[in-house]
Amino acid sequence: MKSFLSAALVAIVSVLLVFCGSGRQAQKGNGASVIDSSKGLKDHFANSFAIGVAVSPRALKTDEAALIRQQFNSITPENAMKMGPIHPRENEYFWRDADSIMAFAETNGIRVRGHNLCWHNQSPRWMFTNEKGDTVSSETLLQRLKEHITAVVGRYKGRIYAWDVVNEAISDRKDEYMRNSPWYRICGEQFIAKAFEYAHAADPGALLFYNDYNEIDPVKREKIYRLVKRLKDAGVPIHGVGLQAHWAINEPGDEELENTLARFSSLGLQVQITELDISVYNKEHNARERKPEDGNTDFTADKEQKQIDRYRKCFAAFHKYRKQISSVTFWNISDRASWLDNFPVRGRKDYPLLFDKNLQPKKAYWEVVETAH
Ligand code: 9MR
């Protein structure tokens, strides 16, 4: 009898602790359900995919660092490992920023996605010319690419679990396959396979990705698919495709999203969402207009609701494809500052992420979390 009473008492106290306990149960924004707020995104999605964020070394010295530790289990250096910043002159590497991000990640048990080894943008000018200023030969350029990849991947061997090896090599023009970049002009398509081979030789344990944007556009999607499939079929060491996912409140449509995830999943490689954000401005409008359609650059209730809906649909689709999707990375931490501020027009503020400028979770955050359960 006595043991029954004490067991009953323990049970009652446990239930009380769970329901009243130390504020760990939080109402989500609209009060509709109860979610454990002591958990971060990484914990909610622990059974689905890693949750990452793009960072600068500066952000890691601010209050954003605590938010990163709490919410994310993967980090991508936003700029610090790109060719221009990390290899400014032929015989000179600048490791400080990349090393500081690595140190933060390793101290906090966070995985690192390397970004990126070969891109038409943020490439140093010396890469493509000789001392006279003439364009180098394809042999010289490939040799330089090899030296670059061997040095960067080699430095972090065993510590960076995945690399975006080639970034954005496909053209956005409907009538063109490869982007007309210096890499392509000088070397032809072979630079892509070579970059993967160099990276694999430098760290055979790293997962290697091809990464691109406008992946939801049916024409560009097929070009990306074709490239990755050809690399895979040719035995090139490629392990996944990175979908950048720079999206907006009016895209992707449900069908576009489903078709995109289904198509890339069918490759039999890993799929990673590498640069997710959802701009609060309509996509078509984004490209040209200085002012948003409603003339308002605030985070209005209408924009907020559309963004909530889009985020929920995206994560519901990611959940469906969780066997193929191994990570989802946000491009920046909070609406305090993101690359979309002033892009594509100066003076326009965007609110594309799940945390507001005070680093508090937005309503969209709670909707996203619900898709995990
Ligand atoms: O967020 C990055 C920004 O700080 C840089 O100025 C910019 C340079 O082009 O690159 C941004 O990141 C890009 C990423 O490396 C590749 N995909 C598109 C991203 C947003 O432009």
Q: What is the pLDDT of residues 192-235, one digit of tens each?
A: 999 999 999 999 999 999 999 999 999 999 999 999 999 999 99
What predicted TM-score, i.e. pTM, was given to this entire model?
A: 0.91
Residue 168 designated active-site: yes
In a domain, 17, yes or no: no
106 is catalytic: no
Domain limits for position 331: 40-370
Cis check for the bond before 57: say yes or no (omega within 30 of 0): no
Q: What average pLDDT does this structure show over 13-36?
A: 43
Return the residue whose CA atom lies nearest to atom 12 of ligand 1. 78
State the pLDDT at residue 289: 59
Specify the long-range contacts of residues 298-305, CB closer than 8 Å, at least 24 apart: 299/335, 299/351, 303/249, 303/351, 304/280, 304/362, 304/363, 304/364
String of DSSP letters for 266-324: TTSSEEEEEEEEEESS-HHHHTT-SS-TTS--S--HHHHHHHHHHHHHHHHHHHHTTTT
What residue owns the CA closest to ligand 1's atom 19?
275
Write down the mean pLDDT value for the chain.
91
pLDDT score for 35: 62
User: In the numeric block, which tokens belong to residue 372?
Assistant: 């995990």
Q: Which residues line ligand 1 (CB under 6 A)?
A: 78-79, 121-122, 167, 213, 244, 275, 339
Per-residue pLDDT tens for 44-93? 999 999 999 999 999 999 999 999 999 999 999 999 999 999 999 999 99
> Rounded distance, CA 240 to CA 166, Å?
11
Query: Residue 283: what pLDDT?
Result: 81
Residue 337 lies in a domain: yes
- Residue 134 within any structural domain of the chain: yes
In a domain, 300, yes or no: yes
Residue 333 within any structural domain of the chain: yes
Which one of the listed residues 78, 215, 251, 275 is annotated catalytic?
Answer: 275
The one-letter amino acid at 59:
A
Examine residue 4 and state whether it is found in any structural domain, yes or no.
no
Whether the predicted pLDDT of 8 surpasses 60: no
pLDDT category at 288 given cuts 50, 70, 90 is low
Q: And the tokens for 266?
A: 């069918």
Q: How many separate domains does the chain show? A: 1
Out of 214, 275, 339, 341, give the residue to mutate to test ligand 1, the one with the largest number of ligand atoms within 8 Å of its CB. Answer: 339
What is d(CA 88, CA 82) in angstroms, rounded to the nearest whole number?
Answer: 10
Asked whether residue 21 is assigned to any structural domain, the reply reads no
CATH of residue 225's domain is 3.20.20.80
